[in-house]
């Protein structure tokens, strides 16, 4: 069965500390992978996609096909990074979402 | 500016009543989706559509229906509301094909409470 797992429901880090959000997927074929973010009182929005290999707001994500993982990382967390983050494989023109990780960055 | 809007933003209803949540997008996207967001479950796909007159069931479609009579709208209907359907509902749209099909544009959400 196709599945995406985000093992951490909550993640609390201090400002300036590194943050890593884990995502593991179990999908047939080679799905595209995305990270979506929902800031407080804002809409869900795309953060980054693996195919573009970009760094957005200091975040990067490496697709590891061997481990079927797509972890999101930022070396120095900022308070404005506090949000809910969703890992989302894309297949057949639709996205499936993980359960999400709530990140709190403390001053 | 193109956008996607949902209405109502908040609704309280009683068990057994029929409820319809509206979703309207001006992106001219062919793909439209309905998700529900619940603590511990993240976002789960209810129904989706790839174009006019096309509708498909998602992973949690029981008790819900959609119709697609034009490009802009995908209303979600709860035939007989149940307390288990208390949730926040998100509508989203995306392009039909090309490199940007993974980017969903989301509405602001509709919070439904079933008493």
- Find the mean pLDDT for residues A32-51: 91
B42-57 pLDDT, tens digit per residue, is 899 999 999 999 999 9
Residue A54, pLDDT score = 80
Which residues on chain A are in Cβ contact (under 8 Å) with B58? Answer: 94
Percent of chain A scoring above 90 in pLDDT? 62
**How many interchain CB pairs under 8 A, A with B?**
54
- Burial grade of B70 (CB within 10 A; 0-12, 13-18, 19 or more): exposed
pLDDT value for B98: 55
Nearest-CA distance B54 → chain A (Å): 14
Q: B92 to chain A nearest CA, in Å?
A: 10
Which residues in chain B have Cβ-Cβ distances shorter than 8 Å to A36? Answer: 104
Of B33, B35, B40, the CB nearest to A99: B40
Q: pLDDT of B55-105, one tens digit each?
A: 999 999 999 999 999 999 999 999 999 999 999 999 999 986 655 566 889
The beta strands (E) that lie in A1-107 are given as: 3-5, 10-14, 19-21, 24-26, 32-38, 45-49, 60-64, 69-74, 83-91, 94-95, 101-106
**Res B101: pLDDT:** 61
For residue A5, the distance in angstroms to the closest alpha carbon of chain B comes to 11
């Amino acid at each position: 069965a196709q599945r995406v797992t985000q093992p951490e429901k909550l993640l609390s880090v201090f400002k300036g500390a590194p943050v890593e959000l884990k995502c593991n997927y179990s999908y047939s074929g080679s799905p595209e992978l995305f990270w979506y973010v929902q800031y407080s009182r804002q809409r869900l929005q795309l953060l980054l996609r693996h195919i573009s290999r970009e760094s957005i707001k200091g975040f990067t994500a490496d697709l590891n096909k061997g481990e079927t993982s797509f972890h999101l990382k930022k070396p120095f967390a900022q308070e404005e990074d506090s949000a809910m983050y969703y890992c989302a494989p894309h297949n057949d023109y639709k996205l499936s979402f993980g359960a999400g990780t709530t990140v709190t960055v403390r001053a | 500016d193109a956008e996607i809007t949902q209405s109502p933003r908040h609704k309280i209803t009683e068990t057994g009543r029929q409820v319809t949540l509206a979703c309207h997008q001006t992106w001219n996207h062919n793909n439209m989706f309905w998700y529900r967001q619940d603590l511990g479950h993240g976002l789960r796909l209810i129904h989706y559509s790839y174009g006019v007159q096309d509708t498909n069931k998602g992973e949690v479609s029981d008790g819900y229906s959609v119709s697609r009579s034009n490009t802009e709208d995908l209303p979600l209907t709860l035939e007989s509301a149940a307390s288990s359907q208390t949730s926040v509902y998100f509508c989203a749209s995306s392009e039909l094909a090309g490199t940007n099909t993974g980017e969903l544009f989301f509405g602001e959400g509709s919070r439904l409470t079933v008493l």
